[in-house]
Every structure is written in structure tokens, then in C-alpha cells.
């Protein structure tokens, strides 16, 4: 289990050490994607600020409908590293393109 209260650098080191990640937080999914680590969106409650909108917004960048795995109605034992990898649907080239576009946009913004 990752410590979300760790410093950003320590958190990212912990993420980088994972072979796959199941996360209920969008930040965890984005961190995993940025490091090309297969990940899976899990839900454990409906007490998420903004409900599911932010997840749908994030995954729309990759042209996919997000698939949530609700642990209130699915056994967590089903969520194995192999299951996460088999159900991961974002292509590494797409992630790299998004990262490149963001880097270009930030560079233009901060250098203008």
C-alpha cells in the first residue's frame, strides 16, 4: 500500500517500485500512467469530491470510457497484478504524446 501522506518524491519512488497499481484516487492513476505502470480504477465509496466526472474527463484524453471496479460489489481478491495488467487499456505512446504536449504548452506559457 502506498502512503499518500509521503512527500511527493517519496510517493513517486513508491509508485515507480510497483508492477501494477489499483487506485481509488485520480492522482494515483495519473502517477502510474506517467511511469507506464498498468493501473486500474477502483471505487470504495461514493464520497469522492466531484463524483466520477474527473475520471471520465481524464480518460477522455485517451479516447476511452473508464471502467471502474467497485470493491463494494466485487471481491478485492480478484484484483491481482495480472488482472490489472490484462485490463489496462492506455497505450504508452499515447501517454508520451500527452506528456509531450503538456510540456510544450507549459514551456510556451512560462516563456511568454
Strands 21-23 and 39-43: parallel
- pLDDT tens-digit map of 45-68: 888 777 899 999 999 999 999 999
The residues facing 41 across adjacent strands are: 23
pLDDT score of 3 more than 90: no
* Pick from 29, 15, 20, 86: nearest CA to 61: 29
pLDDT score of 89 more than 80: yes
Mean pLDDT, to the nearest integer, of 8-21? 94
* Helix, strand, or coil (residue 61): coil
**Is the separation of the CB atoms in 33 and 95 below 8 Å?**
yes
pTM: 0.88
Q: How far apart are CA 3 and CA 28, in angstroms?
A: 11
pLDDT at residue 39 in the model:
97
Average pLDDT, the chain: 92
Amino acid at each position: 500500500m502506498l502512503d499518500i501522506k509521503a512527500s511527493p518524491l517519496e510517493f513517486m519512488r513508491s509508485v515507480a517500485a510497483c508492477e501494477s497499481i489499483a487506485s481509488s484516487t485520480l492522482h494515483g492513476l495519473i502517477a502510474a500512467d506517467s511511469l507506464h505502470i498498468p493501473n486500474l480504477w477502483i471505487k470504495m465509496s461514493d464520497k469522492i469530491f466531484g463524483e466520477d466526472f474527473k475520471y471520465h474527463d481524464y480518460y477522455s484524453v485517451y479516447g476511452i470510457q473508464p471502467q471502474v471496479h467497485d470493491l463494494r460489489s466485487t471481491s478485492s481478491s480478484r484484483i491481482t497484478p495480472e488482472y490489472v495488467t490484462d485490463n489496462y487499456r492506455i497505450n504508452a505512446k499515447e501517454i508520451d504524446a500527452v506528456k509531450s504536449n503538456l510540456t510544450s504548452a507549459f514551456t510556451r506559457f512560462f516563456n511568454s
